[in-house]
Chains A and B, each alone.
Chain A
Amino acid sequence: MSGIWYYIFTLVFFLFDYFILAMGLNIQYGETGILNFAYIGFVAIGAYVTGAFSLPNSVGTGQQYILGLSLPFPLGLILGGLAACLFAVIVALISLRRLRTDYLAMVLISLSLVLYDVCNNYVPLFNGADGLYNVPEPFAGVLHLTTNSFIPFFAGVTGAIAVVMWLVMGRVTRSPLGRTLRAIRDDDVVAAALGKDVFRNQLKSMLIGSFYAGIGGGLIMEFSGSFNPTAWLPGETFVVFAVIIVGGVGNNIGMLMGSLVVETLLVHLPAFLPDIPGHPGLIEYFDAVIIGVLLMVMLWFRPQGIVPERLRRAATFGVRDDLGAEANLPPDELSALAPSPVVQPGTLQARSATNE
């Protein structure tokens, strides 16, 4: 297989993998309003645990790690997802019950740094700074895949997994649970006053999102065969945030668009460009700048993202409300008022007063 296909299928893999990662962060942040600034930590746990379950016993491998059970695909992957869920339970019990969004975000970012330091420095866990490597390629033996044919094969497997996870997530977000999560995002006090157990629902959201994070991480491990701390610097969390903000917070198909624009086109495509002579690594740094600028531009000009949360006709003021009824405005004047997202009570009174 020629080199170009190798690149293309690597991009396809990351497109689908970040689609999965973005859906996981989206249910936590986009649907529930939990600012999980430790998200990449959950991805890393999924990756490490998947790798450690798939690798053989560490004796004689030249690496140090726990587990080492040579589990076949997809067992290691699923356990990676579940390990991320377990971490979510611990995180939720420590922080979610007591803290509000901004404080929670601060605690989570610290937690992600602690996790990073532990994995980076405590070698017996996941081989420290060297990370895990030589993780067996799933099915490579059974299907007689070469290193080259494995890449398109596994990009396809990841695509299939992503589609299944997308269908499942669609069901979740359309279910009463999804509605409750969005209600909590909008106002947790009111949700509780209507009988919703806020902590329990936030925990569910954390668990679902963390499973997606763990699977996305495990797939990276299976795809590239290695994973080490340089792959999950705490700042990587913000790449996933960029994916969901660019794609459109609260919308699952937007996650695929965000992954295409941010992860595929901005993060991975430039990595295949030749280095600028005399400036190794410059392109990658420039990348971070471009993502930052893109994020600001999106938040300024199109905060709803490429694909907005819900494409509903109703939001375009097809219906008369009491504003029109009271002030007796003709329909065109009514629509002129439409862009203001929330009609404040004060405005209402002012308008009816001038029209009386």
Chain B
Amino acid sequence: MPALLAENVTAGYGHSPIINDITLSAELNSVTTIIGPNGAGKSTFAKTLVGILRPTSGRIVVNDVDITRMAGHLIPRHGLVYVPQNDNVFKRLTVRENLEVGGFASRANTAARMEEILDIFTDLQKAVEKKAGFLSGGQQNLLAIARALMVDPSVIMLDEPTAGLSPAYTDVVWSQIARIAKLNTAVLVVEQNVERALKHSDEVHIFVAGRNHVHGAADEIAGLDLASIFLGRSHAS
């Protein structure tokens, strides 16, 4: 059983669905990436996973627990945590406070966990007392990821964690993603940079017009004609 399983999920904002019949799974110790053109429904899918949007059909299972209709704030307890695409830190809270909000276990646990996490995110260590709004865009994204790890998730869903970052900082974020996956976590990432997605992921899914158009191991996907897939043509190459 995969850590995360989404089966035939259909969802949207109003009456007509944005994403249709999406099936996708994510395994522990691996990086699963969703790529696809702008507006394909990647963020919509992410929001549906974590209860911000309600699927009209299909089901979502995390660690064998069906979370499809669960209230959003109960989902992290079952091991799935989400980092949104933009504006993902509490800007007027310090870095430390941001991390503390993520830890809902005991106070002692929170402190110990924060130490472990700051050991991984050395960049943040230097800025713990700084307000998160004063961090650079890249640091804010790292903080959001670090804070999500405070929950001790088995599945972490990152929506475009490298959007708007410089190439150097994008590498920093991706190396952290690889590291997180090795901590017995399933990492699900939305990424618009195809090249990086293929380089760093185990599994790749291509969303086009609200459907999970193509998926497979990263090296298989690398051999496909991605330009025509993105344009919505058939993936027979």
Contacts and interface: CB of A to CB of B under 8 A. Distances in A.
Contacts of A197: 71, 73
Contacts of A186: 90-93
Main DSSP-derived SS at the B contact region: mixed
B138 A176 contact: no
Interface in B105-140: 107, 123, 126-127, 129-131, 133-139
B136 A343 contact: yes
B104 interface: yes
A92 B144 CA distance: 30
B137 A344 contact: yes
A345 B166 CA distance: 8
Contacts of B150: 194
A268 interface: no
Interface string B65-77: 0000001111111
B206 interface: no
B148 interface: yes
A90 interface: no
A346 B164 contact: yes
The number of chain A residues touching the other chain, given as a range, is 35 or more
B152 to A, nearest CB: 11
Nearest to A201: B73
B126 A319 contact: yes
Contacts of B138: 322, 345, 348
A187 B92 CA distance: 10
A320 interface: yes
Contacts of B168: 326, 352
Given A345-B137, A345-B165, A346-B164, A194 B147 contact: yes
B190 interface: no
A193 B72 contact: yes
Given A193-B82, A322-B123, A179 B100 contact: yes
A348 B101 contact: no
A312 interface: yes
B126 A320 contact: yes
A93 interface: no
A309 to B, nearest CB: 7
B81 A315 contact: no
A182 B166 contact: no
B64 interface: no
B169 A322 contact: yes
B94 interface: yes
Contacts of A180: 101
Contacts of B93: 179, 182-183, 186
Contacts of B21: none
A250 B92 CA distance: 11
B131 A190 contact: no
Given A193-B50, A315-B134, A323-B136, A342 B91 contact: yes
A189 B81 CA distance: 12
Contacts of B134: 315, 317, 341-343
Contacts of A326: 166, 168-169
Given A179-B97, A194-B81, A194-B101, A322 B136 contact: yes
Given A179-B100, A348-B136, 19 more contacts: A179-B97, A182-B93, A183-B90, A183-B93, A186-B92, A190-B88, A190-B90, A190-B144, A192-B72, A195-B81, A198-B73, A312-B94, A314-B130, A321-B126, A321-B135, A341-B134, A343-B137, A348-B166, A348-B169
11 contacts: A176-B107, A186-B90, A187-B90, A190-B90, A193-B82, A194-B76, A194-B148, A195-B81, A346-B164, A348-B136, A352-B168
Interface of A: 176, 179-180, 182-183, 185-187, 189-198, 250, 309, 312-315, 317, 319-323, 326, 341-346, 348-349, 352
